[in-house]
Structure 1
Amino acid sequence: MPKAYVFTRYGGPETEALVEVDRPVPGSGQILVAVRAAGVNPVDWKQRTGHRRPGESGERLFPAVFGNEVAGIVEATGDGVGGFATGDEVFGNTVAGGYAEYALLPAAVTAHKPAALDFTDAATLPIAAATAYDGIRQLDLPSGAILLVTGAGGGVGAAAAQIARAFGLGVVGVASKGKKDFVESLGALHVPSGPGWAERVRAAAPDGVDGVYDLVGGEVLAEAARLLTDRTKLITAGAPPEEVRRLGGARVARARTAAVLEAVADLVVNGALDPHVTRTFPLDRAGEALRTVEDGHARGKVVIEVAR
């Protein structure tokens, strides 16, 4: 039987286990993929604690497989699926978990993987890079505008900085002092986080910033809003909708389409976007991969590689 890394109830790491599961069967509109790589994201461990993303509803079935993005090879397709055939190399969001040897993907949010893009990099794109891309498109800033990214050292922040640069924007990235070299490698001007960061942004960008992509929330979001004259150019993926609405901004509106995945894949292939995969783990060490992200010390992306 195929293996999967799961959590058996809501709680901490003690709920996790590598278990044998039935091979999934694709339903209508779904694709069964033999997983080659699975991206690891903060939302994965947050879901283990009972966290629900905006719009999520319904009861979770246990054991629940970790993971929300994968790259792999098509094994089978469900009813109503066109454009995909057995053996195709694909990547996308998962229906119900991706830290596994097999996963189900919704065909509508699955893209063909370019030959020049490896499975490991492809597995990092459906969440962080796609979220970053959606936000940059939503802000719709003109070429030459200055974008402030808070939390620029994380997965979404790093992708947002690079995509913004590819769109002709200048970027100021707020991140810890230890991530200075990393943020600057993205083409952004680094501003250290911590007390007084907003004043440091004002000094670094004396003509002001034209948009804010927030990935932190809380008081950081509120301070960032005060740097803008046009609050409609304030978006967040780090705070609840009601929190950012009070400040005149909005949550990142996720498109969740194959077209977005194709666009971010093209950016990688063309050299405009580096997924910055810094650590990989085999499936039987998925717990270590998750701890690396959960502990908050990961720089760049962490990926689980599934051997065949």
Structure 2
Amino acid sequence: MPKAYVFTRYGGPETEALVEVDRPVPGLGQILVAVRAAGVNPVDWKQRTGFRRPGESERVFPAVFGNEVAGIVEATGDDVEGFAAGDEVFGNTVAGAYAEYALLPAAVTAHKPAALDFTDAATLPIAAATAYDGIRQLDLPSGATLLVTGAGGGVGAAAAQIARAFGLAVVGVASKGKKDFVESLGAVHVASGPGWAERVRAAAPEGVDGVYDLVGGEVLAEAARLLTDRTKLITAGAPAEDVERLGGARVARARTAAVLEEVAHLVVNGELDPHVTRTFPLDQAGEALRTVEDGHTRGKVVIEVAR
């Protein structure tokens, strides 16, 4: 039987286990994929604690971790067009990614370009796509200055690079230890911590034209005060009600295959580096998750599934 890394109830790491599961069967509009790589994201461990996105149903246990994969099509369900066994694809999963097999919704699955490897492709459906959606939502003109808070994480790193590809100047707030990393993204680094907003004013004396927040809380509130136009304030790090009180908005996710194709194109063209900093085999999925859960990861962590 195939293996999967699951949580058996809501709680902490003590709920996690590598177990054998039945091979999934694709339903209407679904694709069964033999997983080659799965991206690891903060939302994965948050879901283990009971977090649910708006509209998500209660989980059935054991619940497989993970939300993004790259792999090879094994089978397709009814009403699926454009995909066949053997196709290399990537996308968000229906229910779980840290596994040897996963189900993907065909409508939001993209074909993987030959020049894009599985490991990099597995990082794109959440972090890079979220970054891309946010940059498009801000719709800043070329030459404008974008402030990214939490610039050292997966979404932040992708947002900085995509913004640069769109002709924007970027100021990235991150810890002192991530200075070299943030600067490698083409951004001006500003150290996080007390006084960070004043340091942003010094780094961008003409002001910032937009804010992409990935931290929330007081950082979001301080970032809002740096803007004259609060409609150019977006967040993927705070609840909608928090940012709306400040005059901004949550990142509106497109969740389309077209967006996945766009971010893949940016990688192939050398404009976006997913910055995969660590990889783990499936039997070390718990360690991979701890690496992200501690909150100090640079770039992306990926689970690679051997065949």
TM-score (norm 1): 0.99
Q: Helix, strand or coil: the match of 1:117?
A: coil
| Closer, same or farther: CA 103–6 of 1 in aligned 2, 3 Å | same
Q: 2: distance between equivalents of 1:296 and 1:37?
A: 21
Shift of 1:27: 0.5
Shift of 1:256: 0.1
Shift of 1:150: 0.3
Aligned to 1:26: 26
Q: Helix, strand or coil: the match of 1:157?
A: helix
- Deviation track 1:211-263 (CA, whole Å, cap 9, x = no partner) reads 00000000000000000000000000000000000000000000000000000
Q: 2: distance between equivalents of 1:130 and 1:296?
A: 20
Q: Helix, strand or coil: the match of 1:273?
A: coil
Q: 1: distance between equivalents of 2:246 and 2:59?
A: 33
Q: 2: distance between equivalents of 1:54 and 1:260?
A: 21
User: Which structure 1 residue ranges, 5 or more long, are not aligned?
Assistant: none
1:1-308 → structure 2 map (5 Å cutoff):
1-57=1-57, 59-308=58-307
User: Which structure 2 residue ranges, 5 or more long, are not aligned?
Assistant: none
Shift of 1:53: 2.2
Q: 2: distance between equivalents of 1:296 and 1:203?
A: 27
Q: Helix, strand or coil: the match of 1:199?
A: helix
Q: 2: distance between equivalents of 1:163 and 1:69?
A: 20
Q: Helix, strand or coil: the match of 1:223?
A: helix
- Deviation track 1:102-134 (CA, whole Å, cap 9, x = no partner) reads 000001110000000000000000000000000
Q: 2: distance between equivalents of 1:76 and 1:64?
A: 22
Q: 1: distance between equivalents of 2:56 and 2:253?
A: 14
Shift of 1:55: 3.6
Percentage of identical aligned residues: 93
Q: 2: distance between equivalents of 1:20 and 1:56?
A: 25
Q: Helix, strand or coil: the match of 1:75?
A: strand
TM-score (norm 2): 0.99
Computed over aligned residues only, the root mean square deviation of the Cα atoms, in angstroms, reads 0.6
Shift of 1:296: 1.5
| Closer, same or farther: CA 213–55 of 1 in aligned 2, 3 Å | farther
Q: Number of matched residues?
A: 307
- Deviation track 1:1-54 (CA, whole Å, cap 9, x = no partner) reads 000000000000000000000000000010000000000000000000001123
Shift of 1:280: 0.5
Q: 1: distance between equivalents of 2:82 and 2:190?
A: 45
Q: Helix, strand or coil: the match of 1:99?
A: coil
Shift of 1:268: 0.2
Shift of 1:95: 0.2
Shift of 1:81: 0.5
Q: Helix, strand or coil: the match of 1:287?
A: helix
Q: 2: distance between equivalents of 1:167 and 1:233?
A: 16
Shift of 1:297: 2.4
